[in-house]
A = this chain, B = another copy of it.
């Protein structure tokens, strides 16, 4: 057993109430009492028991981040932003994998009901229907913020990148280089990011008097494998499209590896644009032109938004925060082949 507030009270010759006050609001206590308490705390290494405090205060000082797949490095940077803000606020970060937890049968959101956490940051926009329903209960809904992805049918507060603008920027860049014949490498079709980025691509094409036929939309995952697999298909098209906009950098890097294997040169035969600007994008061969998302900012903003909701300090908050994206011009895009 470790030392408790009773021990400290006894040792420093005051009541537990005074110990509690000395620790959480030192101003409210005489200097003498404060010193006695602080010394006892120091020498005996006392720490407030977090469960007792949380139980009494009815506040967990903790937040849960729900991630579609923890193993996907894309999310760790967002989590890093979340952690940064929470840590500043003295709030703990719990992490759960939304897919893994489904296996166990126990809902990720049990934590919220169990008062284990004060709120939820959800990075998964494709929750199963039952989870969506749980989330929508009034006492739950007010403690949830979506980051990166979101659920289009619901209306939760959300922090996201301007995915549509990203799609547009990619196409506009390629149009400037003279490209007219595009392919869009999609992520999962039901994923909102896929939809938004594709919408941006189409907007920019329409504006240029072009259109993107269905058979120029390929792929169904954000993965390296999916990009790699598409290279063979692309190489066999005739006439061959000269530019590919990918819904993720992973797809783009996989695609470039596949194209190299097909004997096609990037950007001489095909230009490739990614999405995300993961760290490795700048070091790909060729370096990858891509749409930069501010993933740290996504995480930080979501954490701040949630904290404000929990405190009730931002009831007038917009509930929607859209972060700008940037085109990073690199070596994977070039003039349309002659």
Interface residues of A (CB under 8 A from B): 2, 45, 47-52, 54-55, 60, 62, 69-77, 79-80, 83-84, 87-88, 90, 92-97, 100-101, 103-104, 106, 110-111, 113-116, 139, 224, 228, 250, 253-254, 256-257, 260, 278-280, 282-285, 287, 296
**In the complex with contacts A51-B115, A257-B285, A76-B87 CB distance below 8 A:** no
B-chain residues with CB within 8 Å of residue A113 when the two chains form the complex: 2, 45, 47
**In the complex with contacts A253-B280, A283-B228, A285-B256, A97-B83 CB distance below 8 A:** yes
A-B contact pairs, 29 of them (CB 8 A): A2-B113, A47-B110, A49-B55, A50-B111, A50-B115, A51-B54, A51-B55, A51-B60, A70-B83, A71-B77, A71-B296, A72-B76, A73-B74, A73-B76, A73-B279, A75-B76, A80-B97, A83-B97, A87-B100, A87-B101, A87-B104, A88-B104, A90-B104, A92-B96, A93-B96, A94-B95, A250-B279, A257-B287, A284-B284
**In the complex with contacts A92-B94, A96-B87, A285-B285, A279-B75 CB distance below 8 A:** no
**In the complex with contacts A71-B296, A87-B101, A100-B83, A114-B257 CB distance below 8 A:** no
